[in-house]
């Protein structure tokens, strides 16, 4: 697969009596796939990567500077263009002082992230049904059964009794899911204290039109990907 990425920087001027540049926007065009629709989907999926992972990957980007940086995407369906968008608040001194380094780091790393994400498509497809089955059965299996199917890492963060209490609360409030549908996935190299991981997201539907977003995280254990964590939150409209 040939990864073609080009970068376009766009400056936006804000008027407040006189012209002062208060925001700069960087558009990083994503052309990983020959199909425009696939690139549009890809750039949307990149938005959900953990900001702490971006901090880990880019030397100029830290949690303080992140307060003055807004991440997004732009899709022009008429031209078949998909771009990763970075908005810099130049009123923030840390951003203004480091903006050239930030632009350089983003323009270098985002293409790498896009390529890495696309290269894991087969892995996402393989793990998708496994995560769906584990998540769908969480409220119908016993805690012991769910932990037995997962990595020991999950057992270190929640024991049988704690998982039983959690599942009972979920069951009382939601009941068993009527469907579990794959939404998106992310791949992470090992960073900070986390191992190499894949995170999968599913939309779960329940009775009374309730919908929840379930996160199921995997890591590799003796050449086998096992569930190491999960989360459940109300689904949004995006």
CA distance to 52, 97, 100, 200, 211, per residue, from 55 (Å) = 5, 17, 16, 21, 32
Please write the tens of the pLDDT for every residue from 108-130.
999 999 999 999 999 999 999 99
170 & 101 share domain: no
Please write the tens of the pLDDT for every residue from 127-139.
999 999 998 888 8
Assign residue 212 the CATH number of its domain.
Answer: 3.10.450
Nearest C-alpha neighbor of 149 from the set 141, 157, 140 = 141
Which of 95, 119, 143 finishes a domain?
Answer: 119
CA distance 47 to 70: 11
pLDDT reading at 43 higher than 80: yes
Total count of domains within the chain? 2
73 & 165 share domain: no
26 & 109 share domain: yes
21 & 96 share domain: yes
Residue 156: give the domain boundaries: 121-234
What percent of the chain clears pLDDT 90, i.e. is strictly above it? Answer: 71
pLDDT reading at 5 higher than 60: no
- Looking at residue 174, its pLDDT comes to 83
Segment 38-54 shows an average pLDDT of 95
CA distance 136 to 218: 16
Which of 63, 86, 119 finishes a domain?
Answer: 119
161 & 83 share domain: no
Q: What is the mean pLDDT of the chain?
A: 88
Contact 179, 161 (CB under 8 A): no
Which of 64, 96, 119 finishes a domain?
Answer: 119
92 & 170 share domain: no
Please write the tens of the pLDDT for every residue from 19-28.
446 889 999 9
């Amino acid at each position: 697969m040939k990864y073609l990425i080009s970068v376009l920087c766009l400056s936006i001027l804000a008027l407040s009596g006189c012209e002062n540049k208060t925001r700069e926007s960087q558009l990083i065009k994503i052309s990983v796939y020959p199909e425009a629709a696939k690139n549009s989907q890809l750039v949307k999926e990149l938005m959900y990567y953990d900001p702490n992972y971006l901090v880990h990957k880019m030397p100029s980007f830290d949690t303080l500077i992140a307060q003055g940086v807004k991440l997004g995407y732009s899709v022009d369906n008429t031209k078949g263009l998909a771009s990763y968008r970075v908005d810099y608040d130049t009123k923030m001194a840390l951003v203004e002082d480091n903006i050239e380094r930030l632009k350089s780091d983003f323009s270098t790393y985002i293409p790498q992230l896009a390529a890495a994400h696309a290269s894991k498509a087969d892995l996402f497809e393989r793990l998708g049904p496994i995560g769906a089955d584990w998540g769908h059965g969480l409220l119908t299996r016993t805690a012991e059964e769910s932990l037995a199917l997962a990595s020991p890492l999950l057992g270190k963060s929640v024991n049988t009794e704690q998982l039983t209490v959690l599942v009972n609360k979920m069951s009382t409030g939601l009941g068993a899911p009527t469907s579990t549908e794959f939404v998106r996935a992310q791949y992470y190299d090992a960073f900070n204290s986390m191992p190499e991981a894949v995170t999968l997201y599913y939309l779960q539907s329940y009775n009374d039109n309730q919908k929840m977003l379930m996160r199921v995280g995997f890591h590799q254990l003796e050449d086998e990907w096992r569930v190491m964590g999960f989360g459940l939150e109300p689904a949004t409209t995006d």
